[in-house]
Each structure stands twice: as structure tokens, then as C-alpha cells.
Amino acid sequence: MDFSLTDTQQMTRATVRDFVEREIIPTSARYDESEEFPEAWAKKMGELGLFGIFVPPEYGGSGLDSVCYAITIEELSRGDASAAVIAAVCNGLACEPILRFGTEDQRREFLVPLAKGEWIGAYALTEPGSGSDAAALRTTARLEGDEWVLDGTKAFVSNGSQARVVIAYARTGEKKHDISAFLVPADAKGFTVSKKESKMGIRASDTVNLSFDGLRIPKGSLLGEMNRGFAIAMSTLDGGRIGIAAQALGIAQRALEESLKYAKQREAFGHRIAEFEGIQWKLADMATEIDAARLLMYRAARRKDLGMRHTYESSVAKLFASEAAHRAVDAAVQIHGGYGFVKDYVVEKLYRDQRVTEIYEGTSEVQRLVISRSVLGK
């Protein structure tokens, strides 16, 4: 078993880290404070090919593997988790389902500009009344002649007000899982951005509600087969959870780095606090759990690259990494003491940004359900 990264994977890490150090970290606090969408970051990420990392070059992508994708999201999150969310949604929740389930015409029309970074994409599954129970969604789609007509409301749509195309899920039959996926252009009549959320963390990430009021799209906008949208959504989330594991990991890695730096500088009782056993143990636990999370993430990404089922591995990686990150940011604030509670130190922001990694793309409770089903052989 080879645990080393390939030259391409190492180059990916170096390239993204350089971008993060030069352009994201210096402006991160400003965007966090203003809650403004970081258009400059998004433009540069698109130019670097970070919106279509594993999309083949013939469709405008970088043609890299899922390990490179995980590395990219980790490094972006180390700088600012909001940047990682923008890229993760474009890659895993927009590009991937079009690549896997779209027709050739759909790939040419929608995937190519997304992968090239010319467009931003979004994913609309959750609704005000359906979160973890995604199949309880109420948005409907009915076929009228050569058009689909969509009515409903979507909640917590990342990139929603910036997207040129949204992959939206709607009910198309009477049974609970009679759900279909649709490619919805943001300029379609009846498409409305109805609310922007003001959030605890990842505040530069655009999170909105969308309303579809008699929205009409061509018959060819159906993604995949009719009434098979729920399966598309769940398989998309398998890959998406690798991205959330990477996001949590990047936040935890930054928390460790900031804690090491502070512990070596801060003095108390005549000693640097890094000399105190209590601080050393916190740092040791952080480092150990970060390493474990990274290996779990790489395992899930590698299985995905091999075309193997990775539902269990992705859920394990997402669950462990997000909860390890929770412990890491908590320890980082504690190590910083009173300074960890003020915005002059980045660990305060890391503490806020981390929390959502245990919630979206499947809560920790849902991950435990997925994992237990696998363990029990259900």
C-alpha cells in the first residue's frame, strides 16, 4: 500500500496553497465581515481550473483525479472555507452529475462552461420542510407539451444567487421517491432568488432560498431518467461528502498551525505555553486526529477513482473529519485563551466555519445511519 502522493497531486497542493497564501488569506477577514460573495476568488479559481478538477479535458476540465480534488478543497479550506464551498459545489454537486448522467448535448451546453470556470453552478435539493428526509420534498414538475413546469421553494442553496445553472430536484410522480433532476438556467422565467441567509460561519459563501413559480424549461432539461432523481441526488452526495471531509480537514489543519504558532510564542508563568504538558497533549490529539481524517479522506477518494462503491467510506470520512475538526477548533480556541474569543485571531473564525461541516450534505446523525446500515449489512 502506497501512502505517497503522485507528482501531479503534490503539484496540485503546491499550486492551490500558493493561491491561498497570496489571494485568499489576506482578504479572508474582510469577506467574512461583509458577507460579500468573493468574486475575485471565484474568477481566479475558475482560471486555475478548480471548478472542473476531475472533468475530462474534452469537456473543459482539468482531467485530474478525486485525490487532487480532495487536496484542492483541503487547501482552499485552510485559507477560507467559503472559497472551498464555492469550488466544492461547482465540482461535486454540479459538474459531476452532469458528467455522469447528462446527455452529450447537456454536457456541451452546461458542463463545458462550468468546468472552464466561465459559469458557477448550484445544487437545489433541500427545502424549508425537508432536510435530512430529502425525499419529502414538495417542489413539483409537470410536463406540459414540450416544457417542464416547476413550482416550489428550495432552501440553503450554496452559490444560488451566483449560479448560471442549478441542478434542481422536483416531484414527478405519486410515490415518495418519484423525484427527477432538472437543469435549470438561472435566467429562466419564474426563477427567483427569494432570500439570502446571514450565517454563523462560511459567511462569504452565498447561501440563498430559490423560488420556482411556474418556471418553464425545455423538455430536454431532464437530467437522467424520469423518477430516478433521488438516486442521482444520493450518489452525488456520496462524492460530495469527500469534499466536506476535505473542508473540515483544512479547517482543522489551520487550527493546528495557528495553535502551534501561538503556543511557541505565548508565555505564562515564565515559560512558553508549548512547554506545558496540558498544551502538548492538546496539540498531539489534534495532529493525530488530523492525520487519521486525511487517510480516511484519501481512501474514499481513491475508491471513487477506481470506480468502486464508496458510500460507506465517504460517510466515515465525512463523519470523522467533521467531528475531529470540531475538537480541533475547540482546542485551538482554548489554547489561545481569551484571544481565541476575539476576531483579531483567526481561530475565532475557524470555530464558526467548522460547525456546518457536521450538518450539511448529511448531518452526523445521518452519517451514522448510513454507516450502521453498511455495518449491519442492510
Catalytic residue annotation: 361
CA 217 to CA 165: how far, in whole Å? 12
**Contact in structure between 194 and 208 (CB atoms under 8 Å):** yes
The identity of residue 295, as a single letter, is: L
3-state secondary structure 234-255: HHHHHHHHHHHHHHHHHHHHHH
Three cell numbers at 50? 478548480
CA 255 to CA 264: how far, in whole Å? 14
Q: Return the closest-CA partner of residue 326 out of 273, 270, 249.
A: 249
Cα-Cα-Cα-Cα dihedral sign, residues 308, 313, 318, 324: negative
CA 206 to CA 199: how far, in whole Å? 10
Q: Which residues contact 156 (CB under 8 A, 6 or more apart)?
A: 126, 197, 207, 209, 360
Residue tagged 433532476 (cell numbers): 181
The partner residues of 207 in beta bridges, in order of sequence, read 158
CA 266 to CA 258: how far, in whole Å? 12
CA 157 to CA 147: how far, in whole Å? 24
CA 99 to CA 96: how far, in whole Å? 5
